[in-house]
């Protein structure tokens, strides 16, 4: 009898890289139950005065429409203060979701965090 592997636990960590530059690193499944924490981290950074945000999605194994909505809301919020959100994404599930929804044309998407930081 085989066992079904458990989904990777969700994680969302935010940090300030500079006074105007924030980072959110996400892992696991980003869905309707975990998107509120992601939204909270994005909003907290903007509330702290951050204009530009790098969102690292490389450890995300699944992303749903709720989480994509958080990204759209986030980009609207940072644009209102003259900022941008740059995504780090190489996982097939995330890259495919961004392409299918056309969000790959809204966001700059980089393969590494270093590349994302170099665009800012």
pLDDT digits (tens, 9 = 90+) for 65-113: 999 999 999 999 999 999 999 999 999 999 999 999 999 999 999 999 9
- CATH code for the domain of 64: 3.30.750.24
Phi-psi region of 76 (alpha: psi -120 to 50; beta: other; left: phi over 0): alpha
Q: Over range 11-19, report the average pLDDT.
A: 94
Is 3 part of any domain? Answer: no
Is 5 part of any domain? Answer: no
Is 70 part of any domain? Answer: yes
- What residue numbers bound the domain in which 18 lies? 11-119
Is 4 part of any domain? Answer: no
Number of domains in the chain: 1
Q: What is the pLDDT of residue 47?
A: 93
Is 6 part of any domain? Answer: no
Is 103 part of any domain? Answer: yes
For the sheet containing 52-63, what is the strand order? 11-18, 21-30, 52-63, 85-88, 108-110
Q: Over range 37-65, report the average pLDDT.
A: 96
Q: What is the pLDDT of residue 113?
A: 96
Q: Is 5 exposed, middle or buried (0-12, 13-18, 19+ CB in 10 A)?
A: exposed
d(CA 10, CA 26): 7
Q: What is the pLDDT of residue 42?
A: 95
Q: What is the pLDDT of residue 9?
A: 86
Is 34 part of any domain? Answer: yes
Long-range contacts of 74-81 (CB under 8 A, 24+ apart): 74/39, 74/42, 74/46, 75/106, 75/107, 77/42, 77/43, 77/46, 78/46, 78/50, 78/51, 78/52, 78/53, 81/46, 81/51
What mean pLDDT is reported for the chain?
A: 93
């Amino acid at each position: 009898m085989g066992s079904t592997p458990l989904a990777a636990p969700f994680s969302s960590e935010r940090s300030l890289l500079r006074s105007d530059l924030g980072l959110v690193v996400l892992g696991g499944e980003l869905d309707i139950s975990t998107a509120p924490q992601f939204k909270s981290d994005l909003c907290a950074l903007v509330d702290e005065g951050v204009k530009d945000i790098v969102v690292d999605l490389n450890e995300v194994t699944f992303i749903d429409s709720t989480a994509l909505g958080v990204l759209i809301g986030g980009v609207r919020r940072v644009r209102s203060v003259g900022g941008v959100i740059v995504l780090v994404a190489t996982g097939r599930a995330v890259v495919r979701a961004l392409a299918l929804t056309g969000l790959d044309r809204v966001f700059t998407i980089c393969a590494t965090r270093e590349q994302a930081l170099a665009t800012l």
